[in-house]
Amino acid sequence: MTTIALLSKSYDMSHLVAPIQRAAPEFTVVMHGEPGAASAEVAACWDPPPGALAKMPNLRLIQSIAAGVDNILCDPTLPALPVCRVVDPQHARGMSEFVTWGVLHFHRQLDLVLRNQARGHWFRPEQVHPARYTVGVMGLGEIGSRVALDLLHHGFSVRGWARSARELPGVTVFEGADGFAPFLAGTDVLVCLLPLTGETRGILDATTFGQLKPGAKLIHVGRGEHLAVSDLLAALESGQLGGAVVDVFPVEPLPADDPLWRAPNLIVTPHMASVASARTIGEQVAHNARRLAAGEPLSNVVDVKRGY
């Protein structure tokens, strides 16, 4: 009988045991360290302890409980096994809600209105037609493409940037390294929905911010390590960035004394943009565990070499 072990060094996954067990009643589901976990065939992971997967001799599938897999692929001892991730339209919808809120916040100048309220100042900002307000989405994958299309439905001018060419009706798509500068140049609000890879680490830096229009805004919902934090602080201080919503940080939880909490025109949110439901995670772990046991092709397999 297949055993599914849950592993994380930083996140209490115990609430996922019941949903996975409900979705896969024929399998055994255990937490890392419990009897049977070491001989599990399936590892369901978020940020697994480095080296732990390599010590599981019967392991045949590494299943992320999230959309991203950077916290799994970073283990230098990662066994050469299939790595799968969660792909879920509701997860993408949740992200779309969050990003749309951020875009509307900046587009309707709620940032300015809130600053004015704090000093009792009545000022009605100009209402710019959304077609004259350009949102640039970095990453047009399962989540980024949904976000881009939803913003388009709100009437915004939407452009996107991906590694390879792709068609998204109504969205102006830029591709690869050569497409990055022209993509940035026309963007009023930059949204980062990239996976964290060797190529994208640190991509939100002074060079990138400097290629945006002065006063452009940032909504960062990718991964903390995309961000050069000191460059963000400098860009906010100088006004090159007129405001930002940042949901993900190199160190989470963000320490109480971190200067980001008090940076000008920055909204800090606690990695909450979108979370797959426990039920969805349970179903997707069970689905792949079942396919593995039946010798069928797995779903949502990651390209380990590419990093996403």
Query: Which sequence positions are flagged as catalytic?
Result: 223, 271
Residue nearest to ligand NAP (CB): 141
Q: Are strands 83-84 and 61-64 parallel, antiparallel or unpaired?
A: parallel
256-281 burial code (b ≥16 CB/10 A, e <16): eeeebeebebbeeeebebbebebebb
C-alpha–C-alpha distance, residues 84 and 60, integer Å:
11
Name residue 26's amino acid.
Answer: E
| Helix, strand, coil percent content, the chain, rounded in steps of 5 | 35, 20, 45
Q: Report whether 31 contacts 6 (CB < 8 A).
A: yes
Positions in the binding site for ligand NAP (CB under 6 A): 67-68, 95, 139-144, 161-164, 166, 193-197, 199-200, 221-223, 247-248, 271, 273-274, 308
In this complex, which beta carbon is closest to ligand NAP, that of residue 27 or of residue 161? 161
Shortest separation between residue 307's beta carbon and ligand NAP, angstroms: 8
Shortest separation between residue 100's beta carbon and ligand NAP, angstroms: 14
In this complex, which beta carbon is closest to ligand NAP, that of residue 2 or of residue 163? 163
For the chain, how long is the longest CA-to-CA vector? 67
In this complex, which beta carbon is closest to ligand NAP, that of residue 163 or of residue 217? 163
- Residue matched to tokens 């995309």: 226
Shortest separation between residue 42's beta carbon and ligand NAP, angstroms: 21
Question: 56: part of which helix (H) or strand (E)?
Answer: none
Shortest separation between residue 235's beta carbon and ligand NAP, angstroms: 20
Shortest separation between residue 286's beta carbon and ligand NAP, angstroms: 20
In this complex, which beta carbon is closest to ligand NAP, that of residue 29 or of residue 99? 99
C-alpha–C-alpha distance, residues 158 and 172, integer Å:
7
CA distances from 63 to 7, 20, 117, 159, 274 (A): 10, 12, 47, 32, 19
In this complex, which beta carbon is closest to ligand NAP, that of residue 5 or of residue 162? 162
